[in-house]
Every structure is written in C-alpha cells, then in structure tokens.
Amino acid sequence: MPKVFDRHAPPFDRLTGPEIEDVRAALDIGYFRPGDVLLHRGAPAEALYVVVKGAVEERDSSEVIDLLGPKRMFDSRAIVQGACAHDFIAAEETLAYVLPRDKALDLMRRNPAFAAHFYRETSDKLEAFASRSELREVGALMRAHVAELTLSPAVEIDGDRSLAEAGHLMNDCHVDALIVHEGGRTGIATGMTLAKAVVLEGRPLTARIGDVARYGLVTVSPQDFVATALVAMTRHNKRRLVVREGDTFLGFLEDIHLLGFIAGSSPVVTGRIERASTVADLAPAAREIAGQVERLHRQGLKVQAIAEITSDLNRRLLRRLFEITAPEEIRRKGCLIVMGSEGRGEQTMRTDQDNGLLLAEPVDAAELDAFRRRFSDALIGFGFPPCPGNVMVSNPKWSRTVEEFESEFRRWAVVPEEHAFLDTAIFFDAQAVAGEARLLDHAKLALIETLKGEKVWLGHFARAIEQFTVPVGFFRSFITAEGRKGDALDVKKGGIFPIVHGIRAMALELGLTETSTSRRIELVSAWGVFGADFAHELNQAFLFLSELKLDAQLKALRGIGDGLVRPTEMSAIERDLLRDALFAVKQFRDIVRRHFNLSVF
C-alpha cells in the first residue's frame, strides 16, 4: 500500500522493517466528507486511523475536545479497550490511513515496544517524557555562559598605590582581589598577595602594589561557556579568572562561583541570607534567588524541585527580613505568612508578593505602621512587585490580630460574595514563614470550622473552576494554522488553575490544612473522592502543565514569545501529552461539578 506512509512517526518508529512492510500491505486510505462519522462513541473501533489530509473533530457529546490534523492518530485507547469514548467526525474533506484493528493487535502481540504506546496510561507517558527531557539536559550545565554566573566585582588600582591603600580599598569594596595597572601591563593582587608581601617578605606598607602583583592574567569573556572557564582554571591552576570584554574588566570568576552554579548555588545564597544584618545585605541574595530558576531549569531539574528550592530560599529571605525589620514586640507576638503560589510552595518565576501578618494581640500602632512600610518597601526594592490586590503586610487588612481575622472569616461565610471567595482561597493557602506558627494553625482551624457543612457556600467557592475554559478555537488553530502568532494557550488559566482551585475547594471541605496541590490531590484521593490511579494521572498533568508554563516564561525572559504556550511550536509527542493533560483537567472539572453539584448554581 502507500509508500508515502511515514514510518518514523510514533508509534510506528518502533516497528521493524518486516513489520513496516506488513503495515504497508494492510493499510487502506479512506476518504471522508465533512460531517462523516469515522468512529461512534460507545461503538467498537474496527480500525486505527492516521490523518493524511484534512481534520477530524473529537467530540464528547456536543463539545469539541480536540481537532486532529495531519499525522495525528486515533483512537488508540479504543483499540485496546474495545469501545470508543468519543465521537470522531470529519471537520472537512479528509484523507486518512486505515489500519484494521486485527492487524494493529497482531503488531502489539509481536512488538512489545509498539504495544507499550497503547497500553501505557497518560501518567506513564508523561513520566517517560520527563525522563527523556532530563536526558536532553545532560551537558546543558557546561553549555551555560559565563555571563550567567555570579561574579566578584572588578575593582581596579594603579600600580603606584601603596600596599596599605590596596588593603583599605579591598576592605571598603568588600573584595579579595584587585586588578592592578602597571604601565602597559595588567596584573592581579589578592589578599594573600598583601599578606605574603608584608608578613613573609617584610615589605613596608608603603611599598608599591605594582611591585607585588602577579601579571599574565588568565581571562575569559562573558560569552565563553562554563566548560571553557573550568578548563582554564584547571589548566592554569587558578582559583579565579578575570572576566573581560574588550578593554573592559567585568569581574572575577572564582571557583566558589562555579561550584555554586553546579550545585544550583542554593547553599551559597542561603549562607548570604543567614549572614545578613541589614536590608542592604539581603539585596544581593534576593537578586540571586531570582536568577536561580533559569539555572536550575537548565540543569534539568523538574519544575517541582525548582519550586521547592525557590520557595525555600524565598522563605529564608522573608524570615531574615522579618527578623531585621520587625520590632521585638512584633517578632514575639506575630506570625509572618506567605500566601498564593508561594504559600503552596509552587512559585518558580518571581511574581507579585502575597504576604501577611497575624498577631496574637494588639501591638503599638505606630510601631506596626512603621514595620508594615519597612517590610513591604524592602521587598519592592528586592524586585518583588506590589500585589495588584494589595495582599501585603503593608495592608492592615492582611496584618492584624488573629481575633480580627476570625471575625473576617465569619463575614466571609455570611456574605458569599466574590471577594469573600477570593480572600478565602488566598488565606487557605497560607504558610507560616517566621514567628509564632501556632497563630496560623489556630486561624486556619477557625476558618475550616466556620465553613464546615456550608454546602451552598462551598459550591459557590468551587464554581471558580468555570472561570477559564480552553476555547475550541485553540484546538482548531494549533492544528490547521501552524505558525500563526495567534495560536497560543495560557496553560495557567486553562489547565493549572482548575486543578489548583478544584482541589483547594475539596481540601477546604474536608478540613485538610495541607497547602501543596500535589499533596492535596493525594489526600483528597485517600478520602475516596476519586481513585488513586486518577490522582496520579491528575498530578502528572498538573506537573506537565506547570513545566510548559515555566518553559514559556523563561523563553519570554529571553525575549522569545510572550509567556504563552504555542502548540504549533511543540513536537508531536508534546502536543499529544498536552491533549492528554488537558483531558485529565476536563475529567477533573467534571468530578468537581458533580461533587459540589454546580449545575444548581
């Protein structure tokens, strides 16, 4: 049969030469007019279809859930399960390869790799894809550029200056090395250089720094690979290299910077945070945290691990800032909290700040107002944008006594308005960062108790999952209008939010104080709301969508794209996984609708 059949498209790429010839012999080509039904919902699938030209709609009742274009295959699930879960209808004039079901099943029996494609659940395919992604990241660390690493400042000094002046300059600039200009030569002098000159060689402090500097700099450029810098350090037995661009000295690249980069530099940042004694001391650490995400992503870490590392560093930063800026009475009577994605431990890219303060009892009003301003202003200075909803310590609504919070909870329950649902979602995700964590524990239990048994209120709360949908046009455009700039999907709104909020609503109803979405899925499943297999699949979908979101955000930072996901730029397997992940979201939305009886609202 057709010689143009693409044997390299999954899963046919797993077949042997003779098996491919069997496929060619068994293949037929079908022609379908717009509206023709290729497969009926509930009916057995008598063949496996691969679209050659045109498009086929996959429908669940009256809703289009996917549009299958050239090289897309269907319905592999029905081949092994016996019946179709959806209708497949030609959206336009369509040509498709038709492989009889018996032949497909025969190939599965003969070729385990081919069979694995059909039998693996969505979650397994997602995990396999993640593993392949990690393999592609091998060596990415060494392909990073020197410009991406932390550098020590390049402080320059004339060779005629004295050893004493050089020492004072190092101290004032908080550096351990200077670039020395001596006539037409350029050298380096370190703290150890000064110590040897004075202690071991007996030179006076008035001696010239140019006489003790070491010349013949080993340099790298910002565009050089990290691997190049590492080789230069090893070859020349140097602990630091000079980074220069043309005649401009940009800084020193030290071995500790390379080690920190290889380790994700988290321990280095943590040390800087713990040693900080002023707000100004914390600023460099805050900047380094912001740069961590891309480095960790390049090193192949999964989004969940990146979020955990980033959240830990951010919380350490906030805790130290609280210790530095809060008066003793507030530190003793207060609990600093983070909310939103930070509270759930799922923030990767830095967004607006969501934080608050719980107090055991009233404190001095003037001191509290001053602290509110100092704390929020410092975070803004660190690069944390103000929250558009003003969910910040600087807002008295989010920094007050536990008793006042509990009164607010009762108002939220009595007046089921949109702001009450939003504020509940924000607070329910809170995590303690510093101070008396028991205050937050007490407040959360009070919130849970206030809403216990409030079925109607909880239904209204859960209904926010309907706020964003995946438009049908999205599926049509990403299949048929490849490359068009309008082909974009906001996976946060269309995929991640329904999972996060739906599972949050269930956790609130069940009185679960866990904030992590993945952990909430596991705990809600343990209560029997849905099965363990679906819980695993839903969590894998959540992590996959989060990975896509992070990829798009990092590309936008580099000036590529706008932070949205474009299926036309994805591989076939990525598009297939995206479809499966969004289908899991759709299934979960249906579960939430039934669980909270949303049809009555």
How many Cα atoms occupy the beta-carbon half-sphere of 22 within 13 Å? 16
Q: How much of the chain exceeds pLDDT 90, in percent? A: 47
Q: Is the pLDDT of residue 472 over 80?
A: no
Note the pLDDT of residue 126. Answer: 54
Cβ–Cβ < 8 Å for 39, 87 = yes
Task: In the chain, list all ranges with CATH 3.30.460.10.
Answer: 273-449
Cβ–Cβ < 8 Å for 328, 312 = no
Task: In the chain, list all ranges with CATH 3.10.580.10.
Answer: 146-263
Number of helices (H) and strands (E), helices first, in the chain?
25, 19
Q: What is the pLDDT of residues 91-125, one digit of tens each?
A: 899 999 999 988 888 887 777 677 766 655 445 55
Mean pLDDT of 138-148: 66
Q: What is the pLDDT of residues 210-228, one digit of tens each?
A: 999 999 899 999 998 887 8
Note the pLDDT of residue 261. Answer: 66
Note the pLDDT of residue 374. Answer: 95
Q: What is the pLDDT of residues 300-328, one digit of tens each?
A: 778 888 888 888 889 999 999 999 999 99
Q: How many CB atoms lie within 10 A of CB 445?
A: 12
Note the pLDDT of residue 142. Answer: 56
Q: What is the pLDDT of residues 391-405, one digit of tens each?
A: 999 999 999 999 999
Q: Is the pLDDT of residue 246 over 70?
A: yes
Q: How many CB atoms lie within 10 A of CB 157?
A: 19
Please, which pLDDT band fits residue 164 given cuts at 50, 70 and 90?
Answer: very high
Mean pLDDT of 85-89: 87
Least confidently predicted of 34-38, 137-141, 159-163, 532-536: 137-141
Q: Is the pLDDT of residue 361 over 90?
A: yes
Note the pLDDT of residue 489. Answer: 82
Angle, helices 532-557 vs 497-510, to 10°: value is 130
Least confidently predicted of 79-88, 139-148, 368-377, 472-481: 472-481
Please, which pLDDT band fits residue 260 given cuts at 50, 70 and 90?
Answer: low
Task: In the chain, list all ranges with CATH 1.20.120.
Answer: 458-600
Strand partners, 244: 249
Residue 483 CA to residue 477 CA, distance in Å, equals 9
Beta strands (DSSP E) in 268-371 are 334-338, 355-359
Please, which pLDDT band fits residue 474 given cuts at 50, 70 and 90?
Answer: very low
Note the pLDDT of residue 457. Answer: 95
Residue 591 CA to residue 510 CA, distance in Å, equals 16
Peptide bond into 327 cis (omega under 30): no
| Residue 301, token pair as written in the block | 């870490």
Q: Is the pLDDT of residue 565 over 60?
A: yes
Q: How much of the chain exceeds pLDDT 70, in percent? A: 87
Task: In the chain, list all ranges with CATH 2.60.120.10.
Answer: 12-123
Q: What is the pLDDT of residues 183-193, one digit of tens each?
A: 889 999 998 89
| Residue 85, token pair as written in the block | 């879960």
Higher pLDDT among residues 5 and 273, named by residue: 273
Higher pLDDT among residues 494 and 423, named by residue: 423
| Rg of the chain on CA atoms, in Å | 30
12-123: what fold? Answer: Jelly Rolls (2.60.120)
Q: What is the DSSP string of 270-297?
A: HHHHHH--SHHHHHHHHHHHHHHHHHHH
| Residue 375, token pair as written in the block | 């704390």
273-449: what fold? Answer: Beta Polymerase; domain 2 (3.30.460)
Residue 550 CA to residue 8 CA, distance in Å, equals 30
CA distances from 256 to 150, 237, 239, 265, 286 (A): 10, 14, 8, 9, 19
The pTM of the whole model exceeds 0.75: no
| Residue 583, token pair as written in the block | 């289908």
Note the pLDDT of residue 483. Answer: 37
Mean pLDDT of 3-17: 73
Higher pLDDT among residues 427 and 287, named by residue: 427
What rounded mean pLDDT belongs to the chain? Answer: 85
Higher pLDDT among residues 268 and 352, named by residue: 352
Instruction: State the DSSP H helix or E strand holding residue 73, giving kind and residue range, or none if neither.
Output: strand 73-74
Instruction: State the DSSP H helix or E strand holding residue 307, giving kind and residue range, or none if neither.
Output: helix 303-325
CA distances from 333 to 330, 401, 403, 471 (A): 5, 9, 13, 49
Q: Is the pLDDT of residue 427 over 80?
A: yes
Q: Is the pLDDT of residue 484 over 50?
A: no
Task: Please state the φ and ψ torsions of residue 354, each to the nearest 5 degrees.
Answer: -130, 100
Residue 176: closest CA among 256, 99, 264, 122:
256
Q: Is the pLDDT of residue 146 over 50?
A: yes
Please, which pLDDT band fits residue 3 given cuts at 50, 70 and 90?
Answer: very low
Higher pLDDT among residues 130 and 257, named by residue: 257
CATH number for the domain formed by residue range(s) 146-263: 3.10.580.10
Residue 284 CA to residue 599 CA, distance in Å, equals 52
Mean pLDDT of 453-482: 69
Residue 66 CA to residue 64 CA, distance in Å, equals 6
Please, which pLDDT band fits residue 563 given cuts at 50, 70 and 90?
Answer: confident
Least confidently predicted of 111-120, 386-395, 431-440, 457-466: 111-120
Residue 596 CA to residue 455 CA, distance in Å, equals 8
458-600: what fold? Answer: Four Helix Bundle (Hemerythrin (Met), subunit A) (1.20.120)
